[in-house]
């Protein structure tokens, strides 16, 4: 069993779930709550059920989807905890993707000024990204993840057993962040990923482990995103805005990872203009990402709206749009200024590929 120790918690990689029951036993919580949505209740809870049954756990089931990641759903969670007389020694297990992890962690951290929680991320995306690094939040009417805090889980438990419940599109969605981690921090990982003919790789456990290591290293150096952690936003300045507009305008919105791939290509293009990324590296990035991800027709999206979303980005300072770029494959920068003209040029570049 592989494990990664951080300062105040561990990330454990195991398809053997006995570790989970032992961890809970050692913690001896006053009560155990499992937060699920309709999907994880059906497909993932059965995977862990035998291991949490002895703790007489209570299930809190919420509606699935980003549209339910708001304070109203937290109220449902809090009411459930109160109805069940949860005290400060209660433990919450967040079983699901990024929405469950972000919101469950947030709700647990506010309940009676904070109870412990465990993240069991069930998607590739949440395993390599949202479950690690302590960012907890809900969406508010003006934008995504606007109300939240930083607080770490007691344990992150990662198992590839859950992948059976993922569609191919959901599975690939997580790989955008895996490619991102390699591009910003590890040329060696990028080269390994570049040689994959299919993302359903035999060494998936190793791929996930290596990717989590990148995120772990970055968030340990800069837990509160004062500097280095901003490199994790590579592809996300343009990507988030494209994602938001696609949700608003399209009947078939892009998944997060799909939008991040668009963003990474655009921001890699910008890096050839504003940083030291070479044309050859840009071509390689486009070729490798293009092998696994379809090109999207972004001409369908209203560019003014995309730009306006970027103006509202949490990462901006003094209303100047900033992005993280690449100096080279495996080495990122941050606080790069992005003006509207360069933004237009980057989107034109992607559109004309
Ligand atoms: N998802 C980017 C971060 O955790 O900082």
273 given a catalytic annotation? no
Around ligand 1, the residues with Cβ closer than 6 Å are 129, 133, 135, 225, 229, 232
135 given a catalytic annotation? yes
pLDDT at 300: 82
Q: Pocket of ligand 1, candidates 119, 129, 314: which has the most ligand atoms within 8 Å of its Cβ, to mutate?
A: 129
Please determine, for residue 269, whether its predicted confidence score (pLDDT) is greater than 90: yes
Mean of the pLDDT values across residues 77-104? 98
Q: Which pTM was predicted?
A: 0.95
The per-residue pLDDT for range 277-310, each reduced to its tens digit, is 999 999 999 999 999 999 999 888 899 999 999 9
**Segments in the chain forming alpha helices (H):** 18-27, 38-43, 45-52, 71-83, 98-110, 124-125, 168-185, 187-194, 204-221, 236-249, 256-274, 279-292, 303-311, 340-351
In terms of Cα–Cα distance, which of 140, 29, 135, 19 is closest to 81? 29
Give me 295's structure tokens. 């090109």
| Backbone CA torsion sign across 226, 227, 233, 237 | positive
Q: Which of 41, 69, 94, 135 is the catalytic position?
A: 135
Residue % of the chain over a pLDDT of 90: 87
Dihedral-angle region of residue 211 (phi above 0 means left; psi in -120 to 50 means alpha; beta otherwise): alpha
Closest ligand 1 atom number to CA of residue 133:
4
Taking the alpha carbons at both ends of the chain, their separation in whole angstroms is 43
Coil/strand/helix, residue 65: coil
Q: Which of 39, 170, 185, 225 is the catalytic position?
A: 225
Contact residues for 215 (Cβ-Cβ < 8 A; gap 6+): 128, 129, 132, 133, 181, 232
Give me 117's structure tokens. 């929680």
pLDDT at 132: 96
In terms of Cα–Cα distance, which of 227, 230, 214 is closest to 179? 214
Coil/strand/helix, residue 169: helix
Q: Which of 144, 236, 243, 333 is the catalytic position?
A: 236
Residue closest by Cα to atom 3 of ligand 1: 232
pLDDT at 18: 87
């Amino acid at each position: 069993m592989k494990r990664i120790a951080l300062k105040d918690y561990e990330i454990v990689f195991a398809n053997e779930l006995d570790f989970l029951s032992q961890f809970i036993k050692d913690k001896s919580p006053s009560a155990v709550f499992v937060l699920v949505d309709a999907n994880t209740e059906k497909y993932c809870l059965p995977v862990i059920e035998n291991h949490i049954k002895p703790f007489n756990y209570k299930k809190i089931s919420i509606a699935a989807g980003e549209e339910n990641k708001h304070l109203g759903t937290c109220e449902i969670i809090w009411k459930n905890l109160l109805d069940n007389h949860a005290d400060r020694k209660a433990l919450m297990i967040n079983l699901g993707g990024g929405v469950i992890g972000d919101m469950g962690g947030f709700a647990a951290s506010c309940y009676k000024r904070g109870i412990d929680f465990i993240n069991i991320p069930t998607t590739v995306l949440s395993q390599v990204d949202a479950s690690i690094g302590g960012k907890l939040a809900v969406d508010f009417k003006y934008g995504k993840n606007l109300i939240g805090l930083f607080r770490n889980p007691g344990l992150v438990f990662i198992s590839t057993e859950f992948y059976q419940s993922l569609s191919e599109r959901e599975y690939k969605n997580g790989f955008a962040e895996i490619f991102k981690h390699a591009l910003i921090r590890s040329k060696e990982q990028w080269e390994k990923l570049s040689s994959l003919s299919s993302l359903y790789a035999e060494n998936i456990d190793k791929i996930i482990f290596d990717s989590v290591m990148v995120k772990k290293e970055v968030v340990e150096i800069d837990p509160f995103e004062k500097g280095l952690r901003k490199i994790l936003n590579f592809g996300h300045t343009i990507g988030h805005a494209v994602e938001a507009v696609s949700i608003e305008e399209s009947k078939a919105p892009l998944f997060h990872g799909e939008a991040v791939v668009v963003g990474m290509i655009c921001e890699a293009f910008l890096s050839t203009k504003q940083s030291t990324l070479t044309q050859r590296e840009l071509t390689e990035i486009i070729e490798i990402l293009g092998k696994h991800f379809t090109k999207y027709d972004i001409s369908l999206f209203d560019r003014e709206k995309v730009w306006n979303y970027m103006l509202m980005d949490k990462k901006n300072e003094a209303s100047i749009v900033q992005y993280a770029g690449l100096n080279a494959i495996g080495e990122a920068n941050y606080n790069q200024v992005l003006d509207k003209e360069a933004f237009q040029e980057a989107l034109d570049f992607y559109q004309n590929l």
